[in-house]
């Protein structure tokens, strides 16, 4: 630990932690930026006698710096970094055993649902999908076999919320937790908000997961994931699996992600401002049928959003007044919004969930939850918002 800085993440505020935790001045060289440790192996004075690192899959100093930083940002004790968001999700699911049940939001990133259905059901893990906008639906599914409650709030792509405090305070859940050594665990995928706008561990969640590919790295140049938690026993088990399974990020990806995090606070503020303006613009446009954005008063859970988040983020989903072909025409007419997968980068992106991020979700389920073939998802970047609105305007004029 550097002598000229105190590791004081409890006293510092978010933007300070984002810049300083994990980037303490290097003792040997004075480097202000975290060194990039590419070495795969570490010298041992005698077998097993080393300085904390032996092999880069098991532990790497650049990765450890990122993990400390992520833990501080989420107000957790422990952080673990992965090669992708799904790598992190997979690791959390390893805590389960055959016969265990997971209660999950019925509106989730398509890849999360895919790993549940295609990879874990075959090992005897059961999944119950509920409309988690009403915590009573979660309560109804709770039983002795329930070991996890898996939530995205806001959800991808419909931007629906779950009241995390209300979930954590469910009597039935508290009874089960006290009987079953802390299980069922509340797991929250916090990718859409980033720790800047929402800290699930402070609202009663046990584990937070992230696709750091998105806002945390923020520059659309690293695929990564993370787990943050407080419980030491679960941390040790997850750390064991991180090494045993090996979905670890490269040191360079960790270094880039740490660099991205330095501007997370600034970026999130601008994503939020731009998205609010765009959501309001779209809501007032006659060619737009629905706008899902938690910052709009018309959002059914706007009050909860104000209570549980400190901002509304940069993600919007919309349906146009028109056909599927109109939606495609609009998406392909945009010049600043690139048509593609992913989100959370500084540049704006428009996606078509039904054919892209949620293509693996059966159509019948998609329609049931309101994810229509015409739904479009906007990841609002941090360009000048006037330019973004002009771009949307000219594309809407084309339909």
Q: Where are the beta strands (DSSP E) in 273-388?
A: 288-292, 315-320, 338-339, 349-351, 376-379
Tokens found for residue 158: 């419909």
The active-site residue out of 7, 42, 57, 183 is: 57
Question: Pick from 107, 189, 206, 253: which binds ligand P1T (CB under 6 A)?
Answer: 189
* Pattern 31-60, ligand P1T, x by CB under 6 A: ------------------------------
Determine whether 189 is an active site residue.
yes
Q: How far is the CB of 249 from ligand P1T (least distance, A)?
A: 10
How far apart CA 267 and CA 196 sit, in angstroms, is 10
Q: Is 109 in the site for ligand P1T (CB under 6 A)?
A: yes
Site residue total, ligand P1T (CB under 6 A) = 19
Question: Pick from 9, 17, 191, 234: which binds ligand P1T (CB under 6 A)?
Answer: 191
Q: Is 274 in the site for ligand P1T (CB under 6 A)?
A: no
Of residues 80 and 223, the one with the C-beta less far from ligand P1T:
223
Q: How far is the CB of 148 from ligand P1T (least distance, A)?
A: 15
Of residues 35 and 340, the one with the C-beta less far from ligand P1T:
340
* Pattern 307-346, ligand P1T, x by CB under 6 A: ----------------------------------xxx---
Q: Is the peptide bond before 154 cis (omega within 30 degrees of 0)?
A: yes
Q: Is 130 in the site for ligand P1T (CB under 6 A)?
A: no
Residue with tokens 């979660």: 138
* Pattern 353-382, ligand P1T, x by CB under 6 A: ----x-------------------------
Residues 6+ apart with CB under 8 A from 317: 157, 158, 159, 291, 292, 293, 353, 375, 376, 377, 378
Beta-strand pair 315-320/288-292: antiparallel
Q: Is 162 in the site for ligand P1T (CB under 6 A)?
A: no
Beta-strand pair 349-351/101-105: unpaired
* Pattern 68-107, ligand P1T, x by CB under 6 A: ----------------xxx---------------------
Question: Phi, psi (5° rounding) for residue 367?
Answer: -65, -35
Of residues 2 and 119, the one with the C-beta less far from ligand P1T:
119
Question: Phi, psi (5° rounding) for residue 368?
Answer: -60, -40
Of residues 105 and 146, the one with the C-beta less far from ligand P1T:
105
Find, among 66, 36, 39, the residue nearest to 50 by Cα.
39
Of residues 170 and 256, the one with the C-beta less far from ligand P1T:
256
Residues 6+ apart with CB under 8 A from 35: 26, 29, 61, 62
Give residues 201-260 in contact with ligand P1T (rule: CB under 6 A): 211, 213, 223, 225
The active-site residue out of 90, 106, 189, 206 is: 189
Tokens found for residue 296: 């709009």
State the sign of the Cα–Cα–Cα–Cα dihedral 214, 216, 222, 223: negative
Burial (Cβ within 10 Å: 0-12, 13-18, ≥19) of residue 74: buried
Q: How far is the CB of 151 from ligand P1T (least distance, A)?
A: 11
Q: Is 154 in the site for ligand P1T (CB under 6 A)?
A: no
Task: Tell me which DSSP letter residue 118 carries.
Answer: I
The active-site residue out of 63, 90, 100, 109 is: 109
Distance of CA 186 to the CA centre of its chain: 15
How far apart CA 215 and CA 217 sit, in angstroms, is 6
Determine whether 384 is an active site residue.
no
Of residues 170 and 208, the one with the C-beta less far from ligand P1T:
208
Determine whether 109 is an active site residue.
yes
| Site of interaction with ligand P1T (CB under 6 A) | 84-86, 109, 111-112, 152, 156, 189, 191, 211, 213, 223, 225, 341-343, 351, 357
Active site members = 57, 109, 189, 214
């Amino acid at each position: 630990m550097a002598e000229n800085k105190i590791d004081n993440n409890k006293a510092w505020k978010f933007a300070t932690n984002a810049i300083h935790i994990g980037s303490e001045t290097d003792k040997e060289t004075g480097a202000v930026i975290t060194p990039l440790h590419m070495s795969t192996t570490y010298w041992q004075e005698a077998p097993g006698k080393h300085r904390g690192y032996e092999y880069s899959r098991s532990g790497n100093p650049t990765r450890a710096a990122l993990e400390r930083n992520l833990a501080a940002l989420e107000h957790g004790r422990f952080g673990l970094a992965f090669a992708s968001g799904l790598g992190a999700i997979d690791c959390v699911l390893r805590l389960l055993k055959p016969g265990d049940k997971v209660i999950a939001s019925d509106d989730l990133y398509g890849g999360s649902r895919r790993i549940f259905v295609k990879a874990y059901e075959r090992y005897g893990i059961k999944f119950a999908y509920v409309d988690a906008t009403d915590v009573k639906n979660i309560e109804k599914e709770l039983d002795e076999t329930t070991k996890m409650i898996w939530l995205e709030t806001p959800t991808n792509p419909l931007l629906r919320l779950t009241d995390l405090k209300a979930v954590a305070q469910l009597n039935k859940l508290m009874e089960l937790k006290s009987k079953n050594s802390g299980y069922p665990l509340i797991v929250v995928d916090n990718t859409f908000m980033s720790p800047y706008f929402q800290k699930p561990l402070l609202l009663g969640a046990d584990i937070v997961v992230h696709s750091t590919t998105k806002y945390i790295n923020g520059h659309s140049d690293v695929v990564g994931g993370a787990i943050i938690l407080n419980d030491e026993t679960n941390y040790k088990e997850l750390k064991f699996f991180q090494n045993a399974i090996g979905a670890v990020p490269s040191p360079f990806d960790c270094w880039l992600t740490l660099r991205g995090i330095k501007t997370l606070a600034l970026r999130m503020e601008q994503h939020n401002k731009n998205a609010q303006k765009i959501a309001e613009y779209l809501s007032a446009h006659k060619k737009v049928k629905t706008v899902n954005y938690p910052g709009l008063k018309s959002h059914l859970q706007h009050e909860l959003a104000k209570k549980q988040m400190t901002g509304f983020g940069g993600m919007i989903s919309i349906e146009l007044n028109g056909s599927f072909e109109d939606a495609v025409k609009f998406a392909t007419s945009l010049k600043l919004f690139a048509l593609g997968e992913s989100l959370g980068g500084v540049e704006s992106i428009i996606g078509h969930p039904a054919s892209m991020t949620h293509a693996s979700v059966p159509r019948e389920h998609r329609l049931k939850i309101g994810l229509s073939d015409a739904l479009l998802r906007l990841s609002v970047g941090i360009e000048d918002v006037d330019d973004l609105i002009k771009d949307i305007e000219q594309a809407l004029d084309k339909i």
